[in-house]
Chains A and B, each alone.
Chain A
């Protein structure tokens, strides 16, 4: 076999499909039959300098794929199979890999670096392979540049794979020393210097202690800044990438260097090649991100709570930063608006300008206005476009007071430009800018409205006209209309848009039928705008919204007629069905929100449901997310009558719950189960065995995205509330799951913000489950069954109270559960409740909460507890 390995690996890259297929099968077979021997062969191939580079590279790649996978459960399996390999085998593979780092062939070295990092990712956290880092560090002092280069690359990958806390500070210091020395200008070999610079990018996360040491930080920053001046483009680019990463990881350490960094970035933006200039702009965008976050944390009530203070770097750099960014706006590419993937210096500069406006607010306006005034009427389109883009960019951030007078003047100009400017690029940006005006300066919260009865007609005429323009301009016009409609959302019973409603809807439907509507996501934009127009409509136009139902149904019906579709056509069909189901969902939710319109809409319910079922049937194994969402809205609108659809719908419900791959679909389906519970009440009972079985499976699965788990718990509550004491038979499964999840989520010490948020959503789900179960069993002779769980639940409430990290939602749900428990168990739990901390301190805290939902729940809980303990 070993002799054949080279040939098989070469065959696996053959252009002949049959040869390739045969080789791939052989490889798979070999892997399954004898993993240790397979891995040894591959590592031997990779290490052997006599073998062709192609077979060596593929050997390394397969080796890497035998250690890691994207999918969590697959990854877990692979790690397990590595861990259980014989130690001698593992040692031999590692020796081959380390040996490959000295190869003359750079591809072989690079591949070996990646495999080593994967093994390190498995073994270092287990305190295995302690000699790896020692061995790598010893390579650094070798003469041969290729060995130093490969070693630095390996250290970089290693830092990417391994969490900082599994490496001793002593070793971290040595790694960083090696890396920064490799970056230094004194390193004569550019490959080594590049590898070191890229390695530093990954190693920055390890450098917390070193960045806190002034001398070490100065040294690192000096070396990084020097590297941005290297004659080698890739090194300059990699060095700026390090600066970008430092800007977010070590924002608070930058004050001392910011002036130098500004000079370096300004030079790069003006003079360097695009890949470098883009990174230089990104540095400032990243600083804006940081300061926006910090200032948001400061919020209205400055409590000094933010861990990191704002250094106002953007505000200080403003007079120099803004002109630099404005210059970039003039460097547009001809047809960037038609190219989805385009990203150039003008786009990056404009985006950064928008972030700067959000960071500093009003201060940016006087710095940008002269540029706009100077360029907006120039004959050269680049100048008009740049001026318009600058204007559009600064509309979010500054106060309406500052912007409204300017916008009032600009609006007429923009409307004229959208109609008359000869350049598509200018029109595209103009329509986008109008959208931004409506998004940020139009709405019920704005004191002086920019849109009046007087100019509304003209605005709509221009936008509808513009929707007939080329696709990219038409798409932006739809977007502007979207925000125009949104601004009238809270307008009360009568909307300024009412007289135009019919015309707008007709124009949008016409857009969806354009031949070229698939370009520039025009069709999507038209349907989404239709959605928003419907959402923001008032009773005045309810009959027209109702009239849309059969129209959209007919469109959906048309998508079902195609036979024998190619995979490309199928994808388009599915996308269009998504838009139409989304639109119907919005319409149903709108009409379902008031009794008279709901009643009128119900005449279509049967036909709509039939269409949805046919949309589901278009696919064999997956469920259409938008159709599922739309069914949730329909179930809510139909109420108990939804029962008649259940026999046919149920299988898709189950399919949706089983969709782990597209976890959004699973999550949406879980939500729909809740809708159906509330619609059907105990009529859902016949389906509960199937649903509960699937939900319990989902909870126990490590393949399912964690974000779906909290809603599953909430769904238990929905089911219990719907079927009441019939939930009895699920208690023996559901309660232990709830208990163990409760134990897991009781404490968050040491968790980062994301985990705290997740833990709170998990707690909320668990508590909603308890709430539903207790309320469901209330007044049943079977409440006794819940008594054994009371102690644990009260302890859970006490422990999350003690943690002091509950958010408002959890607090409200938690105090509600306290009441539910008292309400349902009454005197049976009186003593337990009285002994719990929750019934005293926590309840008191909730009673004096400013959040009226918390207060309301607490008042109710107090009442229920008083009753329970008064007997």
Chain B
């Protein structure tokens, strides 16, 4: 039979209900793409099948190396990305609650060893960190796009995520880096256990914040924490460009529009303020990274918040630097020089938690 003649009259082509459906589908498709993308980023690092290649020497520490490469992205873009992904490990300046329940720990390979070439599997273990560099290096030959550098960056940042959460295993070896549950035994094993590489501190990894769900978390709880002392790292206190430990702690801060000197955190932590005359004299501009020494006045705190810092201007930072120091890095270094967080503090925290657990709970007798 002939079709109905009536056509939509004084009506928009698409109903709002249809729009709601379509916008939901778009949102879901976008989130599926994001989840897939994140899963793939984890891949290129974790996959143990690849062949490592040598890497250029880093000038500072492994942390600096990350930053140096990250700087190949445009500064703002890279920073935004870091902040959003929360992938960079922060420095442990106090002990998280629930260490044994919520965290993994593993010995972090020192940067230097990452540069060793492996040909036939005998040293394959050390090559772990290097793999994504290879991807990148391999790819850098292909005139890759900005999107791809973004992709490379994410795989590089996946570095510390070497540990997908193990399911029922206590200790889980999917890669040459042994990952432990952060209970007393696990922490001791990571701290003292022999590994086929030189340790550079311990890396703590939160179990329940995988990379891709971290994007959605409003809280600022760090997902990965670095901690080190003299027993498990050669680089507890930062060295200068000549490899010497300077007499005073040095920090790199970013100069803001209003003269504030702030860290790379989001939101930034303000350490001090420069006046206009000084800024002009130092020929600095907003966004510049400036190097300071922390003087004898040190850092003062009120109610756990930074009140005042005794800063002494040293000069502009090395050009290769893309970011200011993070608050946790400055604090960790400060504590390392004054009152370091010790392995015993970590173990004590675990024990106090397990003590609580061992307390007998009330039992209702039913006779």
Residues of A within 8 A of B (CB): 160, 201, 241, 244-245, 278-279, 282, 285, 337, 341-343, 347-348, 350-351, 428-429, 432, 435, 439, 476, 479, 482-483, 528, 531-532, 578, 582, 585-586, 589, 595-596, 598-599, 602, 626, 629, 632-633, 636, 639-640, 664, 668, 671, 674-675, 678-679, 681, 714, 717-718, 721, 724-726, 768, 771-772, 775-776, 778-781, 816, 819-820, 823-824, 826-827, 852, 855-856, 859-860, 863-864, 866-868, 870-871
Contacts and interface: CB of A to CB of B under 8 A. Distances in A.
B316 to A, nearest CB: 32
A718 B32 contact: yes
Given A439-B12, A778-B46, A856-B147, A863 B32 contact: no
A395 B328 CA distance: 59
Given A778-B42, A819-B40, A871-B51, A639 B16 contact: no
Contacts of A278: 5
B174 interface: yes
A282 B174 CA distance: 69
Which 6 pairs across A and B sit closest by C-beta, in order of nearness? A528-B16, A826-B49, A775-B39, A867-B50, A241-B2, A599-B218
A362 B360 CA distance: 85
A639 B213 contact: yes
B16 A867 contact: no
Nearest to B169: A781
27 contacts: A278-B5, A285-B7, A343-B5, A479-B12, A483-B12, A582-B20, A585-B24, A586-B20, A599-B218, A626-B20, A636-B27, A668-B24, A678-B32, A678-B213, A717-B36, A718-B35, A721-B36, A775-B36, A775-B40, A778-B39, A779-B46, A816-B36, A816-B40, A824-B43, A856-B145, A860-B44, A863-B139
B7 A531 contact: no
B302 interface: no
Interface in B19-55: 20-21, 23-25, 27-28, 31-32, 35-36, 39-40, 42-44, 46-51
Contact of A671 (B28, B43, B44): B28
Contacts of A639: 213, 216-217
Given A598-B218, A721-B36, A826-B49, A681 B27 contact: no
Given A668-B21, A855-B145, A867-B47, 5 more contacts: A351-B9, A636-B216, A724-B164, A816-B40, A863-B135
A787 to B, nearest CB: 14
B156 to A, nearest CB: 13
Interface string B214-257: 00111000000000000000000000000000000000000000
A506 B210 CA distance: 42
Contacts of A582: 16-17, 20
A721 B24 contact: no
A432 B10 CA distance: 7
B47 A870 contact: no
B208 interface: yes
Contacts of B210: 681
Given A721-B36, A852-B147, A856-B147, A863 B44 contact: yes
Given A351-B7, A531-B20, A859-B151, A640 B213 contact: yes
B45 to A, nearest CB: 10
Contacts of A679: 216
Interface in B105-154: 135, 138-139, 142, 144-145, 147-148, 151
Nearest to A863: B135
B327 to A, nearest CB: 19
A675 B24 CA distance: 10
Contacts of B51: 870-871
Contacts of B359: none
A271 B5 CA distance: 19
A98 B103 CA distance: 82
A351 B164 CA distance: 60
Contacts of B7: 285, 348, 351
A859 B146 CA distance: 12
A632 B24 contact: yes
Provide the main secondary structure of the chain A interface.
helix
Most chain A CB inside 10 Å of its own CB: which residue of B1, B10, B32, B39: B10
A808 to B, nearest CB: 13
Given A532-B16, A582-B17, A585-B20, A859 B49 contact: no
A864 B20 contact: no
A676 to B, nearest CB: 11
Interface residues of B, number: 53
Interface of B: 1-2, 5-10, 12, 15-17, 20-21, 23-25, 27-28, 31-32, 35-36, 39-40, 42-44, 46-51, 135, 138-139, 142, 144-145, 147-148, 151, 164, 167, 174-175, 208, 210, 213, 216-218
A657 B241 CA distance: 63
A629 B24 contact: yes
Contacts of A826: 47-49
Nearest to B173: A781
Contacts of B151: 856, 859-860
Contacts of A721: 35-36, 39
Contacts of B31: 636, 674-675, 678
A794 B93 CA distance: 50
Contacts of B148: 856, 859
Nearest to B17: A582
Contacts of A860: 40, 44, 151
B32 A717 contact: yes
A342 B10 CA distance: 12
A867 B138 CA distance: 10
B25 A671 contact: yes
Nearest to B165: A682
A854 to B, nearest CB: 11
A655 B167 CA distance: 31
B40 A823 contact: yes
A823 B44 contact: yes
Contacts of B10: 337, 428-429, 432, 476
Contacts of B135: 863, 867
A532 B23 CA distance: 12
Nearest to A866: B138
B77 to A, nearest CB: 16
Nearest to A776: B39
A671 B24 contact: yes
B40 A714 contact: no
Contacts of A160: 1
Contact of A674 (B5, B32, B39, B217): B32
Given A779-B164, A855-B145, A856-B151, A864 B43 contact: yes
B218 A348 contact: no
Contacts of B8: 351
B44 A595 contact: no
Given A532-B16, A582-B17, A859-B151, A632 B28 contact: yes
Contacts of B16: 482, 528, 531-532, 582
With a 10 A CB-CB cut-off, give which of A596, A820, A863 has the most chain B CB atoms: A863
A674 B9 contact: no
Contacts of A632: 24, 28
